[in-house]
Every structure is written in structure tokens, then in C-alpha cells.
Chains A and B, each alone.
Chain A
Amino acid sequence: MLYAAKLALRHLLSTPGQTLLLMLGVAVGVSVFVFMSALIGGLATLLTQRTVGSIPHITFEMAERDPQRIVGGPGVQVAVQKDLSRRAQIMVWEPAVALIEATRGVTAVSPQIRGSAFVQRGQTIAPVGVIGVQPDKLSAIADVAGAIVAGTEALTPDSVLIGQTLADDLGLRVGQVIVVRSERDRERSFRIGGIFALGIASADRQALYMNFRTARALFGLPSGISRIEVKVAPPEAAPRIAERLRGATGLKTTPWTDENEQLFEALDAQGRTGTIVKTFALITIVIGIASAMLLSIVRRRGEIGIMRAAGASQRFVLGIFVIEGTLIGAIGAVGGALIAWLALLPFPPLEAVEGGGLPVDRAQGDYVVAVLLTTLAAGLASIVSARRAARIDPVEAIGA
């Protein structure tokens, strides 16, 4: 064993209570570091999961046609107007769906008929967004089947599914009949087959699911569809896959990330907050170790003096205290990581987190990073103090 390491170890063992207290201090700091990492990471994952859980990761729509180019001349003003002469629909959608389904990373594809409509119940009228889906793809994007609170998820040609809030607002129950009038001024009666509660306010208040074929008739789309919604794994791959498929299908693609910039800003701010807290935890550790080392050096001033008098080099003395501080940091950090891991054990997995619960993800605890950073920081903090030890004048230190 290196002699400097042996002396450092002896120093630590000579005052076990103080050493333990120091390591405990480091451990607490590291625990905070790990806990913050697990919490911030878990929160980000949960928010992302909840955000992307019920929304399409990529939406495919008909690309807007560029207006016909008008060659202007000097003094000619050009007005560009959006082409509203034709309905936006994907006419050749089946090959596009096949292509999308065959793409790596795509986990679910749902061709849809979309449109606005009014639901009438007696004299009460409520606006709804109709989602016409193929019955077997009902839960491809949002888990509607899993959110059914009354009735069944079966989408027959004459039944619809509505949200809990809408049902409450209109006083509707399963089995009752409503009239749906589409934006194309076509209306039809439907029986309420099921009521869902997705937990998304807008969906629970305004979404109305109906059979794909029925929606075709209601919105006057005999062959085309409004959009194709897609889920991918992982959700973060959506922009890349969307870009690739935009070229392959010629459709306009919108990844979920484009419409959730606020989420990213919030996650970013949250991440920065976590970094600040973790930085302060590290700074506290550094200050703690540096001051402990300074105290140790003051206490051992005479010993340092005698070692220097006996011909120990400044580098040797420096080494003793750097090793001592690094050992405190490393052992404390490992202990802290272990404590944090144990303390995080009782927290439920993210999937089981309920309202008010902390979304802590044990796997995102950054244990290794915490241990390495703390050990490094402890070593650096020790160098500052140890340099002072190395410069101690032996004559003054031993009063020779």
C-alpha cells in the first residue's frame, strides 16, 4: 500500500466518530443529488408519457397545395391565397397506411375521418369533434377501450362513444339516443354505446368516437380520409420518423414535438432547476470536505512539521491529505448512493403513480455520476487544503 494512503487511512481511523460524521454529510449530499435526479427524471418521463400517451406521435394530413405561380412584372402586386376550393383529404390512403405500418419504429396506425359536429339532445346542443375510426383501431392512439366507464367499446355502425363530461353536461346515459349533425349539414341518430373518461378535459368534453364507415357518410367522404394518426416507439423518435415518411408519402407530417414546445420548455426549466439543486449539493459537499480537511491540517500541523523535518517532500504531504479527502468523498458518495437507492425503494413505479404521489424513477438516479462527481469534487477540494499542508514551515510547526 502507498505510504501516503496508509497515513491517510490512519488519520481517518484515528477519529472514527468525526470521520463517520463527515462521510454522513457527504452521503446526505449525494442522496439529495440522486433523489433529485430520480425525481426530475421521473417527472420528465411521467409528463412525457402522459402527454404522448393519448395523442398521436405523428399526424399525416394532405399537404397544402402551393398556389399557382403567377409571374408578375414591374408594378404588379401579387396576392397569395390559400387554396380552399377543394376539401383537404387523403385520397390514396391505403398504400400510405401500408407504407407507414411497414416503417421501423411505428407501433400503431389509425386512418381517421375527422370533422366537427353538433350533438343534440332535446333542446340542448353541444359542439363535438367527431373521430371516425376503424373499430379495431379504436385504442390505437388513446386507450379509449381502457377508459370506458359505462357501456362497451364496441363501435357498431349506429353507436357512438362519448366522453364523461359531455354525458354529464347533456345528462346522457348508455343506450340513450342522440342526434349528430355534421359540418356538412348531414344528421343521423346514434345510440350511446359507451362513455369514456380519458382524463383529458378536451377529449372528455368534446370527443365523439364513431364507426369509420358511418363517419364517411356523415362527412361526405366516400373514399378519402381526413388524416392518419401514428404512434412510434420511442416517442422521441417521432421527428426523425416523420421527416423520413414525409418524403416517402408526400403527405404533410406533424410530429408531436412540434405542438408541445411548451412541454419541452417546462421540462428544460425543470431540468435546469434540478441541475442547480444538484450543483448546490455538490458545492455543499466540497465546502464540507475542504473545511474538514483544513481543520484536520490545523490539528496535525505538528505531525506535518515533523514529517517535513524528517525529509518528507511537499508532494508526499499533499498526497496524504488529497487521499484522505478523496476517501471521505468516495466512501461517503457510495454510502449516499446506497442510502438513496434504499430510500427510493418504497416509491411506486411511474406507471402506478397517482395524483399527489411523487413520480420518482429509481432507474434515473444517476448513481454512478453522483459517486464519480462527488469523488472528483472531494479530491479537488482536498487539493486546495492539502496545498496549505504541503507549504507548512516545519520550523514553525514543531517550534524548533
Chain B
Amino acid sequence: MSEEPLVRVRGLTKVFGQGEAAATVLRGVDLDLDCGEMAALLGPSGSGKSTLLTILGTLLRPTEGEHRMLGEELTSASDAERTRFRNVHIGFVFQFHHLLPDLTAIENVMMPAAASRGRETGAMRQRAADLLDAVGLADRREYRPAALSGGQRQRVAVARALMNEPPLVLADEPTGNLDRESADQVMALLDRINQSTGTCFLISTHDEHIADHCRRHIRVLDGQLVAAELGGAS
């Protein structure tokens, strides 16, 4: 009997709206993601990439289908259980960094852990400092987002996604708002973390150049997976 992958979805369907206004965004998607994968989710705008990511991130429930992660069935879990699961096991990086403007870089990185524990601890601060070191922002710990460049903010967002040591990080167009040089830096960072920690990254993008950093390409078109192939970084 083969070991269950990190993420397994089967027959995943998502329909928004009802009746004549119903729009089917995902149509029976089957996908497995293993620990340590670095995968790009490719497809044009409106193909269903973001919807798939939000379902995999437990932010959205599928209309139909099975969604399992770390052996847990998440579709039928309660909202509170899904929130807790998301906090511990899934990290997010968004196109816009979405850092909290009133917190410093290190406080932003600590946020996922502090929010779940209700307080900041010395261990959290140390972990956040190490992560900022890892993303090359050791000297920017006490800076607020407004004092950081776009690339630096996105690197803080990456560090934040890794705070709780999740096995899966979902990145939705993480470089979409950056210039080419910053985008390459961020992708190199994700690749390095993937290599060193074995964290699985699923990166949504429509940019083939960005996808070249990933070892697996998953293509989505009109709500369906049309191909899952090895990428340029393999």
C-alpha cells in the first residue's frame, strides 16, 4: 500500500452562484502534492488557479470532491478546525504582501504563531529573527512595511508564511507585483527554502519564466488540470 501524499484532492469541483448565474470554476480536479515538491500552477487568468489555491488552503470549501492533507479529511471539518489546521500546516504568500502596517517586520513574521497562542514569546521572536536572517532581512527586523521595498516586503511575507514551519506553502502570484530582478530573488529564496527545509511550495503564476524555477508544472485551463509535467528546474 503506497504512502498517502501530503495533499490529495479528488474530483474537486467548485461552483459559484446558483441557477442560471452559476459559474463552474473547477471541474473535477484530481491532484496529489508530495512533501518537498516545488510546483508551479500555471494557467491564464480566470482558469481557476486562485480558486484551487484557496481550496487547498482551506479558505474555501469545494462544492464537491475530496480534499485531504496530512491524512485528514478537510472538506467536512468545521470552520474552527480548518482555521486551526491552516494556522499550523499551511503558509500563504500573496501577490500583494498583505503585511500588517502597524507591526514591524519581525512582528509581522511572528503573527501566525502569536495569533494562535494569544501572546508573543521569546522562542517566537527568535524563530522570526532566524527567518528574517534567512530571507536576508536581518537588518530590517524593526522596520515597518512602509519603510521596506516591494521585494523586501514580499520576503517578509515569505518568512511569515514559514513561521509555523508548515509542510505546505501556497503562493498566489508571489512575484506578480515585483520587477524582474526582485521576482528572481524571491523565487531563488523559495527554491532555497524548499531545498533546505523540504517545504512543499505550490506557486500560482502565469509567467513561464517564474515557473522555470519549479520542478513540476501543473497546468489549469477552464477549471481542469490539462497537464502535470516536469518543469525547467528539474
Residue of A311, A394, A395 near B115 (CB, 8 A) is: A311
Task: Find out whether the CB atom of B119 lies under 8 angstroms from the CB atom of A303.
Answer: no
Given known A-B contacts A302-B98, A310-B87, A310-B112, A6 and B120 have beta carbons under 8 A apart: yes
Report A283 CB to chain B, min CB distance, Å: 31
Task: Find out whether the CB atom of B100 lies under 8 angstroms from the CB atom of A303.
Answer: yes
Q: Is B50 at the interface (CB under 8 A from chain A)?
A: yes
Q: Is B80 at the interface (CB under 8 A from chain A)?
A: yes
Q: Is B160 at the interface (CB under 8 A from chain A)?
A: yes
Task: Find out whether the CB atom of A316 lies under 8 angstroms from the CB atom of B118.
Answer: yes
Interface residue tally for chain B (C-beta within 8 Å): 35
Given known A-B contacts A312-B115, A400-B50, A305 and B120 have beta carbons under 8 A apart: no
Interfacial residues of chain B within 36-56, with CB under 8 A of chain A in the complex: 50, 53-54
Task: Find out whether the CB atom of B102 lies under 8 angstroms from the CB atom of A14.
Answer: yes
Residues of B close to A314: CB separation below 8 A: 79-80, 83
Residues of B close to A307: CB separation below 8 A: 100, 111, 115
Q: Is B178 at the interface (CB under 8 A from chain A)?
A: no
Residues of B close to A313: CB separation below 8 A: 80, 83-84, 115-116
Residues of A close to B90: CB separation below 8 A: 311
Residue of B60, B99, B101, B117 near A395 (CB, 8 A) is: B60
Residues of A close to B101: CB separation below 8 A: 14, 303
Q: Is B201 at the interface (CB under 8 A from chain A)?
A: no
Report A1 CB to chain B, min CB distance, Å: 7
Task: Find out whether the CB atom of B102 lies under 8 angstroms from the CB atom of A310.
Answer: no
Given known A-B contacts A10-B103, A312-B87, A306 and B118 have beta carbons under 8 A apart: no
Q: Is B114 at the interface (CB under 8 A from chain A)?
A: yes
Task: Find out whether the CB atom of B54 lies under 8 angstroms from the CB atom of A311.
Answer: no
Residues of B close to A305: CB separation below 8 A: 98
Interface residue tally for chain A (C-beta within 8 Å): 27
- What CA separation (Å) do A306 and B98 show in the bound complex? 6
Contact with A along B112-134 (1 / 0, CB 8 A): 10111111100000000000000
Report B82 CB to chain A, min CB distance, Å: 9
- What CA separation (Å) do A312 and B100 show in the bound complex? 13
Given known A-B contacts A311-B83, A394-B59, A3 and B114 have beta carbons under 8 A apart: yes
Residues of B close to A311: CB separation below 8 A: 83-84, 86-88, 90, 112, 115-116, 164
Given known A-B contacts A303-B100, A310-B111, A311-B87, A400 and B53 have beta carbons under 8 A apart: yes
Q: Is A309 at the interface (CB under 8 A from chain B)?
A: yes
Q: Is B174 at the interface (CB under 8 A from chain A)?
A: no
Q: Is B57 at the interface (CB under 8 A from chain A)?
A: yes
B80 to chain A: closest residue by CB: A313
Report A86 CB to chain B, min CB distance, Å: 85
- What CA separation (Å) do A24 and B110 show in the bound complex? 34
- What CA separation (Å) do A218 and B159 show in the bound complex? 106
Task: Find out whether the CB atom of B102 lies under 8 angstroms from the CB atom of A400.
Answer: no
- What CA separation (Å) do A2 and B98 show in the bound complex? 22
Residues of A close to B164: CB separation below 8 A: 311
Q: Is A7 at the interface (CB under 8 A from chain B)?
A: yes
Q: Is A114 at the interface (CB under 8 A from chain B)?
A: no
- What CA separation (Å) do A305 and B83 show in the bound complex? 12
Q: Is A213 at the interface (CB under 8 A from chain B)?
A: no
Task: Find out whether the CB atom of A309 lies under 8 angstroms from the CB atom of B57.
Answer: yes
Task: Find out whether the CB atom of B98 lies under 8 angstroms from the CB atom of A3.
Answer: no
Report A368 CB to chain B, min CB distance, Å: 30
Q: Is A266 at the interface (CB under 8 A from chain B)?
A: no
A315 to chain B: closest residue by CB: B80
- What CA separation (Å) do A313 and B78 show in the bound complex? 12
Residues of B close to A13: CB separation below 8 A: 102
- What CA separation (Å) do A4 and B117 show in the bound complex? 10
B111 to chain A: closest residue by CB: A310
Contact with A along B135-160 (1 / 0, CB 8 A): 00000000000000000000000001
Task: Find out whether the CB atom of B120 lies under 8 angstroms from the CB atom of A400.
Answer: no
The 10 closest A-B pairs by CB, nearest first: A311-B87, A312-B115, A10-B102, A306-B98, A310-B112, A3-B114, A14-B102, A311-B86, A395-B59, A3-B119
16 residue pairs bridging A and B, Cβ less than 8 Å apart: A3-B119, A10-B103, A303-B98, A305-B98, A308-B83, A311-B112, A311-B164, A312-B112, A313-B80, A313-B84, A314-B80, A395-B60, A400-B53, A400-B54, A400-B92, A400-B172
Given A10-B103, A312-B115; 15 other pairs, CB 8 A cutoff: A3-B115, A7-B103, A10-B102, A303-B98, A303-B100, A309-B59, A309-B86, A309-B98, A311-B88, A311-B90, A311-B116, A313-B115, A316-B118, A400-B54, A400-B172
